[in-house]
Amino acid sequence: MKLTSKILTAVAASVFAFGSHAQIIASNQNNQLDNVGNIQNNNQNIPRGNVLSIKMPQKGLGRKIVEDTTFTYYQQFLGPTLAGDGNQTYNVFQGAGAGAEQKSGRAPLQSFHAVNLRHQINSNWGAGVSLAVSNGYTKEVQNPNGDLNKPDNQFFNARAYVNAPAVTFSVGTLFTTISYEAPTSVISRQQDMTAGWVISESFSFKIPSARWNVGVMAQAYRMYYKDNVSKSQVVFPDGTVCDVQFCGRNVTNYQTMIVSGGPYVNYRFNDNWMVGSIVTVDWDQKGRQTDTLKFNNNLPHRGRATVSYFPSSLKNLASMGVFTQALLKFRPETTAVGAEFMLRF
């Protein structure tokens, strides 16, 4: 089984896996690259058979650094839904939260781009940085709840991450990625976000057949702000500001914690073809709930199914595929189709 298969499994599974509030769409969709190096690293431990060991000339430091460093570019096109305007898609990350999916989440057709520079430090540890951006192709979409989703380019927060050594148990293997998130996006700076961290876990069960890859993915994402609650005075259309004593203030509770996860199942037909699926649920904390035991249902429960092709004749094209993603409470107008590919250098 090729190394790229599990790498792309992790990427495809996590594209739709981890939810967020609309204000931090970028940071959450960026999670999809966190596990790439993690799976990449631990696949080095897959038995390859007996190999004859011979002495080879030592490589120079510069050459070794280059050979142990990879650059990955991932692109996902999120296309139309099964019902409704063909120039619109449904993106759960741009929705207003669980229970509001019928009135929000419609958005322009769009692409998500992510780049990842990763260095394999040794057989157990890896580290890297990632950055992502999204862009739309069709006109802005006004949702029934009043949300306006625009096709503007949106840069996500930059991340630096470390892939920890895999931990093997009798029933499977645990892969861990720890990331630091810098508040580089416009909206993060506007909200006075100071930093963030992400812990991504993937547990792959030991299955007798090498064609099956079954496991559970989970993630904890914590964001820090100067103040978890933003307050502003009420401003009327004529420009006058209402006295706080009489009107109070508009309060925005920033999303500070997201915990998400779910099971995944993948089946590899041969060296070139694979089908995959994942189901995701998540919870969050906002404002004064932070650091308490109170959580909210964040986004609707959702799933994703993917058909992936791994070309054996093209050196840098790691994979390409098509997918559909939908809410578990199925509706044609909230079920989108799309395509994706990954380049690896």
Higher pLDDT, 203 or 2: 203
CATH 2.40.160.40 fits 3-45+60-344, yes or no: yes
User: 55 vs 52, 59, 61, CA distance in Å?
Assistant: 10, 12, 18
Tokens for 296, please give them. Answer: 């909210």
Bridge partner list, 135: 111
Higher pLDDT, 78 or 146: 78
**Burial letters 106-143, b for 16+ CB under 10 A, else e:** bbbbbbbebebebebeeeeebbbbbbbbbebebeebeb
Residue 233: per-residue pLDDT = 62
pTM equals: 0.81
> What's the whole-number average pLDDT of the chain?
83
Q: Is residue 193 exposed (0-12), middle (13-18) or buried (19+ Cβ within 10 Å)?
A: buried
User: 320 vs 133, 136, 256, 267, 304, CA distance in Å?
Assistant: 19, 21, 34, 16, 16
Higher pLDDT, 102 or 121: 121
Tokens for 129, please give them. Answer: 């940085």
Residue 49: per-residue pLDDT = 36
Determine how β-strand 126-136 pairs with β-strand 141-142: unpaired
Tens of pLDDT, residues 150-188: 999 999 999 999 999 999 999 999 999 999 999 999 999
Cβ-based neighbours of 138, under 8 Å, separated by 6 or more: 87, 88, 108, 109, 151
Residue 232: per-residue pLDDT = 67
How confident is the model over 139-149, as a mean pLDDT? Answer: 92
| From 45-59, 263-277, 299-313, the region with the lowest mean pLDDT | 45-59
Tens of pLDDT, residues 331-341: 999 999 999 99
Residue 204 has pLDDT above 90, yes or no: yes
Residue 97: per-residue pLDDT = 82
DSSP character for 30?
G
DSSP character for 164?
P
CA distance 280 to 284: 14
DSSP string, 246-309: HH-EEEEE-EEEEEEEEEEEEEE-SSSEEEEEEEEEEEEEEGGGTTSS--EE-S--EEEEEEEE
Residue 50: per-residue pLDDT = 40
Percentage of the chain with pLDDT > 70?
A: 78
Residue 14: per-residue pLDDT = 37
Residue 221: per-residue pLDDT = 97
Domain locations along the chain: 3-45+60-344
Residue 38 has pLDDT above 60, yes or no: no
Cβ count near 72 (within 10 Å): 22
